[in-house]
Amino acid sequence: MSAASCLLTEDQFLCSICLDVFTDPVAIPCGHNFCKTCITDHWDINVLCQCPNCKKVFHIRPELQVNTFISEMAAQFRQSAQQKASSSSSEQQAAKPREVPCDACTGTKLKALKSCLVCLESYCETHLEPHLTRSALKRHQLIDPVENLEGRMCTKHDKLLELFCKNDQMCVCMLCTISDHKTHEVVPLKEGYDGKKAELEAEIQQMIQKRRLKIQEMKHSVELSKEDADRKIADSVQVFTALKESVERSQAELIDAIKEKQRKTEKQAEGFIKELEQEISELKKRSTEVEQLLLSEDHLHVLQSFPSLNTALPTKNWTEISVHPSSFEGIVRRAVNQLEETLIKQMNKLLEAELKRVQQSAVDVTLDPDTANPALILSDDGKQVHNSDVKKNLPDNPERFDRCANVLAKQSFSSGRFYYEVQVKEKTDWTLGVATESINRKGQIILSPQDGYWTIWLRNKNEYEALASPSVCLSLKCQPEKVGVFVDYEEGLVSFYDVDAAALIYSFTGCCFTEKLYPFFGPSLNYGGKNSAPLIISPVNHTEYNNQRFTFI
């Protein structure tokens, strides 16, 4: 029996329905053999009792008897195959945690080499052999091993997902194309895969290109920042070097002046001392003469000689003559004042250079009529605004200020730097700055950074104030006629400049911006014509910044 089984091929022990080794094999009248369960289920499903192989029809369902001879041969073949698989499995590796295991292995699950899309199972090297050698199984589609093969079946029709619907962008089976996707554009999976792959590759390339451009943009920004930083470092070095030289020069001049005054004091004292010493010498000489004269007993002669001795004595009154310690406060004060004037002069030059730099960030700003209070009059070009004190009948849209005489610009900014200038000439009251998109625009509003406003204002002709928390009164040397507003979004900086004087008015620092910023304008009330002059958005006079040399003199 063993020798005979060796002459039989594996195909002779396979059921053509389940494609596995016979289990309880039966022979039907046409001579073909099947598993008893397989042929029974086949005839239960179909109307006709027909042979799956030769298609012969049996009008009376045959009675099935197990073929004991074939059953024994199949059992021996199955045992031989299991022994072969067992010996082979000892040479193969067991599937690791992240590897797909063989579905046919009964003991240790070996690593699967392929998955079958027809059988919906994965096979190791041993159990894959039938798919490589048997003609019936060679037609099955093998792919690299994957888990969850059931997910490749249509849940509605229990058929293989082998088509792709372009309309719904989903995988479908053949039955789906005649039901839910009947009018849709359906293509084979390979074509759908190729299209999706090309689309995804194009999208990825586009994303890569965008990111490369962003990298270039960032590198360019870093370069600009470095250039600006180098400029500012150079300016600072020049300023502080010149300041240091000026201080050292002033110090040397001050020391020389103090020493010179001290020398004059010493020279004066030396002259007085020399004169006093001469008089002392003369007095000592007279003292000697007097002593000799007093030794004489000729009293008449002594008394007659006294007048001549008194005449020879020094007559200068030294009680009103003295040398006072020198006072150097005046010299020091003059030197400090001169140094302060020089420092202010050079700092003004530095501020002028700073203003020229921020002017390079100038943007075109126009007023947004949809945000303007109904009493405000805007020019046709959106560059001027004044208060008429007469409210127009306008829609109360959410963007509009309904009570406060304010208006925003159309343009918003959420990154980088921007700068604009506003003429405030001949106005007694005004408010300027920036505001966030989410500010409250209805009823009375509070102008503060906590409420989304970074502003300064003028009230009563000469009262300037930065509306911080708390507010800061500003002392300006002169009234600005044109105000520049500069914002560095990432730096969290809002600065206001007197453009004509090239002077810094005030800066909000350490701000944290998280939404869009809009330029903010408040022309204030008309006050019977006293404040009728408009706020005018002026074109910025771009002046190319030159890295000038700072010298303290």
DSSP string, 401-468: -SSS--EEBS--BSSSEEEEEEE-TT-S-EEEEEEETT---SSS---SGGGTEEEEEEETTTEEEE--
Amino acid at the residue 252: A
CA atoms of 533 and 322, how far apart (whole Å): 69
- Residue entry with tokens 């020069």: 249
Q: Distance between alpha carbon 343 and the CA centroid of its chain, in Å?
A: 38
Query: What radius of gyration do the chain's Cα atoms show?
Result: 54
Helix (H) or strand (E) holding 347: helix 329-358
Q: Which of 346, 519, 531 is nearest to 425 (CA)?
A: 531
Q: Which of 87, 62, 66 is nearest to 75 (CA)?
A: 66
Strand stretches in 228-312, DSSP E: none
- Residue entry with tokens 């945690």: 97
Helix (H) or strand (E) holding 319: none
Describe the chain by its helix, strand, coil percentages, rounded to 5.
40, 20, 40
Angle at 132 between CA 130 and CA 133, to 5 degrees: 65
What token pair was written down for 386? 């004044």
What token pair was written down for 56? 């012969």
Q: Cis peptide leading into 101, omega within 30 of 0?
A: no
Q: Within 10 Å of residue 419's Cβ, how many Cβ atoms?
A: 21
**CB 369 within 8 Å of CB 412:** no
- Full pLDDT tens readout for the chain, 553 residues: 444 444 556 667 788 888 888 888 999 999 899 999 898 988 888 778 889 888 888 888 888 888 888 888 888 877 776 666 555 544 556 767 778 899 888 878 888 999 888 888 899 988 898 888 888 888 888 888 888 777 778 888 878 788 999 989 999 988 898 888 988 999 998 888 888 899 899 999 999 999 999 999 899 989 988 988 888 788 778 877 877 887 888 888 888 888 888 888 889 889 989 989 998 888 888 888 778 777 777 778 777 777 766 666 676 778 777 766 656 667 777 877 777 777 777 677 777 778 888 998 999 999 999 999 999 999 999 999 999 989 999 999 999 999 999 999 999 999 999 999 999 999 999 999 999 999 999 999 999 999 999 999 999 999 999 999 899 999 998 999 999 999 999 999 999 999 988 889 999 999 999 999 999 999 999 998 999 999 999 999 865 444 333 333 3
**CB 487 within 8 Å of CB 493:** yes
- Residue entry with tokens 């002669």: 301
Helix (H) or strand (E) holding 466: strand 463-466
Mapped onto helix, strand or coil, the DSSP state of residue 527 is: coil
Look at residue 326 in the predicted model and tell me its pLDDT: 59
Q: Which of 488, 196, 182 is nearest to 358 (CA)?
A: 488
**CB 62 within 8 Å of CB 73:** no
Q: Which residues of 395-409 are buried (b: 16+ CB within 10 A; e: fewer)?
A: eeeeebbeebbbbbb
**What is the pTM (predicted TM-score) of this model?**
0.50
Torsion angle defined by CA atoms of residues 229, 233, 238 and 239, in that order, rounded to the nearest 10 degrees: 90
Q: Which of 317, 326, 324, 325 is nearest to 275 (CA)?
A: 317
Residue 253 has phi, psi (to 5 degrees) of -65, -40
CA atoms of 441 and 179, how far apart (whole Å): 57
What token pair was written down for 222? 């870093």
